[in-house]
Amino acid sequence: MKRNCWEFRECGREPGGKYAKELGICPAAAEKRLEGIHGGEKAGRACWVVAGTFCGGEVQGTFAKKLQDCQKCDFYELVKKEEGITLRETSVLLEMLGWDQERLILELQKALNEVQRLSGLLPICAWCKKIRDDDGYWKQIEEYIAEHSTARFTHGACPECYEKIKKEEE
């Protein structure tokens, strides 16, 4: 058998794995309907079509929400390279999992709607950078984006602000 995603990532979520008790068994390691696909065990070489896999340090959501990230994944690229023209189409894998075309379209539309929540014009204050929501309330930009997307924030100081802060502290 070829290397499976849990072996490549060393996540320890395969049955009997180091973190299986703590984090649970990865759905890709338990998905029997994709046994042997691309020469892997269970869905270990088709993890991009299985919801709930643990990538990037967190559990991934539905297929439609994770597909774009998965297609940039180094493991996906490895499988794609190793399988070449024999790589199974995503739609074929989803059919093997019992997905029909209507369900797939609904799932993708739902994910697209969530992505589009932050499209269009956002009324933003030119001074304090608060954003006016649909109810007319002004919110900090971080709060507004957190409510309307899955984005998370970290804070730091850009080089210009860092210099200003340094000067103020001197």
Residue 17 has pLDDT above 90, yes or no: yes
CB 15 within 8 A of CB 24: no
- pLDDT cut 90: percent of the chain above it: 36
Q: What is the pLDDT of residue 105?
A: 80
Both 30 and 78 in a single domain?
yes
Q: Do 51 and 60 touch, CB atoms closer than 8 A?
A: yes
- With 0-12 / 13-18 / 19 or more C-beta atoms within 10 angstroms meaning exposed / middle / buried, residue 88 is middle
Q: Which helix (H) or strand (E) holds 21?
A: helix 20-23
Q: What is the pLDDT of residue 14?
A: 94
Give residue 147's pLDDT: 80
DSSP letter for 170, please.
Answer: -
The pair of structure tokens assigned to 108 is 């993708």
- Greater confidence, 89 or 112? 89
Secondary structure percentages of the chain, helix, strand, coil, to 5: 50, 5, 45
d(CA 83, CA 27): 22
Same domain membership, residue 110 and residue 167: no
* Tens digit of each residue's pLDDT (9 = 90 or more) over 45-64: 999 999 888 777 677 777 77
User: Residue 67 CB: number of other CB atoms within 10 A?
Assistant: 17
Question: Do 86 and 140 belong together in one domain?
Answer: no
pLDDT of res. 116: 54
Model confidence at 115: pLDDT above 80 = no
Kindly state whether residues 26 and 56 are assigned to the same domain: yes
Domain of 84?
1-118
Q: What is the pLDDT of residue 101?
A: 79
Between residues 65 and 94, the one the model is more confident about: 94
- Interval 125-136: pLDDT, tens: 888 888 888 888
Whose tokens are 């994944």? That residue is 73
Q: Are residues 143 and 156 in the same domain?
A: yes
Q: What average pLDDT does the segment 88-112 reach?
A: 84
Mean pLDDT within 90-100: 88
Q: Domains in the chain: how many in total?
A: 2
Express each pLDDT in 146-164 by its tens digit.
Answer: 887 777 788 888 888 888 8
Q: How many helices (H) and strands (E) does the chain have?
A: 9, 4
* pLDDT for the residue 160: 87
In terms of domains, do 27 and 84 share one?
Answer: yes
Same domain, 113 and 124: no
pLDDT confidence of 118, banded at 50, 70, 90? low
